Amino acid sequence: MSISRRKLIATSAGGGMTMILAGPVGYAQTGTPEATTRIIDAANGQVEIPVHPERTVALDSYSAAAMADIGVVPVGVPEFDLDGYMFVYKEALADIPTTGPVNEPDLEAVLLLEPDLILCITAPWGTDNLEALQAIAPTVLADYTVPNAWKALTDIFADAAGAQEGLDKIKEEYANRIEELRTTYQETLAKTTWAVAIGWGVQDGMFSLYFPDSPPGAILTDLGVTWVDAARDGTGGNEQISLEEAQVLETADVILTYGTRDGEAEESSQTMLDTPGFQNLPAVKNDHVYIWRLVVPASYGEALVFLDQIEGVLQDLA
């Protein structure tokens, strides 16, 4: 690709190190009838990006997962734990050059990848480095604090990457899987009540109850589950509730919680489950607490794995 660049000299504060950063990309249209750039609305305003990006860098787990889901291979991603929280994408991302830790991108590494598009969420490593990133290539930031963030973020990142066909394909796969489960397990879904409770906050005598607008909640709502009363009308993703009020989950037939890669409850969730209030819950007594390492999906690919886990629960309950 023929890209003209102006150079920007940036000196790091405190270290005295000088870096050469490529400046904003200019796309000449002399004599060409078709535009080579377009404007996209992003969290950081209107951004001029290539119509057909060819070298995309994804600087967070949401954008990297979105690229894998829609069939776009980025030229750079952060140093993920591909055996841990990003295990779903181990095969897709294993051989891609890295840009340093997720929360501390190496700007020189990003520059050397010669991207024509950079994607990131509105986390500090994106917002704090925005000026430097924009000097390397057009940078699209997306707000990850909105309800059902993973769906909205995939839409934004797919639009920026010009991959509508890939987006349509993964959405269709997700919708078909939802419909398959709703149809196959209609009777079981109709007679069970669900809750997602995680032990985050146990050190303060609390647990986290997840709502329909949370990442797992969006999937369970698409599936048509009946929520436990305490969560049904909740908004804001989740809420901290006192462990002494565990009885709010009394009517839950199923409780989903967070586990380790070995299938054991994560330490805080195990502490939660061991409290007298939880031990007296019907779901706990009936062995209908399901412990998963992937209980808070953040992408379509993870949502599909989540639905596979849900099917196991439905088979168990049928």
Is 15 part of a structural domain of the chain? Answer: no
- Give the residue-averaged pLDDT of 251-274: 94
- Give the residue-averaged pLDDT of 249-278: 95
Q: Which residues on neighbouring strands pair with residue 141, listed in sequence order?
A: 120
How many residues in the chain?
318
> Does residue 254 share a domain with residue 181?
yes
- Give the residue-averaged pLDDT of 47-75: 98
> Does residue 300 share a domain with residue 179?
yes
Number of domains in the chain: 2
Please write the tens of the pLDDT for every residue from 139-159.
999 999 988 899 999 999 999
Helices marked H in the chain = 61-70, 90-93, 107-112, 124-127, 130-136, 149-161, 164-184, 186-191, 215-223, 229-232, 267-274, 276-279, 282-285, 300-317
pTM of the predicted structure, to 2 decimals:
0.88
Is 148 part of a structural domain of the chain? Answer: yes
In which domain, by residue range, is 284 found? 174-317
Is 72 part of a structural domain of the chain? Answer: yes
Helices marked H in 75-163 = 90-93, 107-112, 124-127, 130-136, 149-161
State the pLDDT at residue 32: 53
Q: Which residues contact 266 (CB under 8 A, 6 or more apart)?
A: 198, 199, 257, 258, 259, 260
Angle between helix axes 300-317 and 61-70 (nearest 10 degrees) is 80
Give the distance, in angstroms, between the CA of residue 154 and the centroid of all CA atoms in the same chain.
Answer: 9
Which of these three, 137, 162, 187, is where a domain ends?
162
Is 25 part of a structural domain of the chain? Answer: no
State the pLDDT at residue 297: 95
Please write the tens of the pLDDT for every residue from 62-107.
999 999 999 999 999 999 999 999 999 999 999 999 999 999 999 9
> Does residue 184 share a domain with residue 133?
no
Average pLDDT, the chain: 91
Say which CATH number the domain at 284 has. 3.40.50.1980
User: 61, 103 in Cβ contact below 8 A?
Assistant: no
